[in-house]
């Protein structure tokens, strides 16, 4: 499933998935960090560290962080990898406003540079970046295959893509337990904190629609990547993919 157009935050209303995702993230931006860390019980911080540390052997100097959101992954990458520059992009100005404040507070204004950009039509030249990262944003792509091909295009030969995404646990009983948590607890907590009835109903639906590792790894190879490897975290709640151009 390369295209995720049918899974939208506000089902039954107008607009493309891209437009609806932008609206949704603008709406929930002020509460996004608190809500996400609450729902993930803080485990997401460990997942991010493991993913970033997997890039350490390659010492990327110029990086692109796609769907940066509130900037957590870009900030952690700057702190743990010490690159010269990270370009962090998103379609939501609301999320980037939060990211700007966090980047400034971390003293990283001369390392991380934010800009609005569409992952399926990147504004950068071919062969620009040593590494491209996308953490928990790929399921929101309007067209997953187009996004992968664009990230491949802007990577330098020999560069690396690091993709981390929430996934559905593949085995009993975690799969069943997660189903209850995702469809009952997530929407209830999401409504309570963010006051957006749709955003955290969309989250489990987008996770379930997103290709699992056995489908995504071949798609990444089809888009040109080699040495595609993946690793599941915490019973398969999150999956990390590392690939080479």
CATH code for the domain defined by 17-244: 3.40.50.150
Tens-digit pLDDT profile for residues 5-55: 468 888 767 789 999 999 999 999 999 998 887 878 789 999 999 999 999
CA–CA dist 244, 18 (Å, integer): 27
pLDDT surpasses 70 at 2? no
User: What is the chain's alpha carbon radius of gyration, rounded to the nearest angstrom?
Assistant: 17
| Whole-prediction pTM | 0.93
Tens digit of each residue's pLDDT (9 = 90 or more) over 105-126: 999 999 999 999 999 999 999 9
Can you tell me the distance from the alpha carbon of 183 to that of 152, in angstroms, rounded to the nearest whole number? Answer: 34
Q: Which of 101-105, 153-157, 179-183, 206-210 has the lowest mean pLDDT?
A: 179-183
Phi/psi of residue 149, nearest 5 degrees: -65, -35
């Amino acid at each position: 499933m390369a295209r995720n157009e049918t899974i939208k935050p506000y089902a039954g209303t107008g607009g493309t998935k891209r437009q609806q995702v932008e609206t949704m993230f603008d709406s929930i931006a002020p509460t996004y960090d608190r809500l996400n860390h609450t729902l993930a019980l803080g485990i997401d911080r460990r997942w991010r560290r493991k993913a970033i540390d997997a890039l350490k052997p390659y010492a990327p100097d110029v990086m692109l962080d796609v769907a940066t959101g509130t900037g957590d992954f870009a900030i952690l990458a700057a702190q743990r990898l010490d690159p010269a520059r990270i370009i962090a992009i998103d379609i939501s100005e609301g999320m980037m406003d939060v990211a700007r404040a966090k980047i400034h507070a971390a003293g990283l204004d001369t390392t991380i540079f934010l800009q609005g950009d569409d992952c399926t039509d990147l504004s950068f030249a071919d062969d620009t970046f040593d590494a491209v990262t996308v953490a928990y944003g790929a399921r929101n792509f309007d067209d997953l295959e187009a996004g992968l091909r664009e990230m491949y295009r802007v990577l330098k030969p020999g560069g690396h893509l690091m993709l981390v995404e929430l996934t559905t646990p593949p085995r009993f009983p975690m799969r069943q337990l997660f189903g209850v948590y995702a469809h009952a607890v997530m929407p209830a907590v999401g409504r309570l904190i963010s006051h957006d009835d749709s955003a955290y109903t969309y989250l489990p639906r987008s996770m379930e629609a997103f290709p699992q590792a056995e489908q995504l790894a071949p798609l990444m190879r089809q888009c040109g990547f080699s040495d595609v490897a993946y690793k599941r975290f915490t019973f398969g709640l999150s999956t990390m993919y590392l690939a080479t151009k």
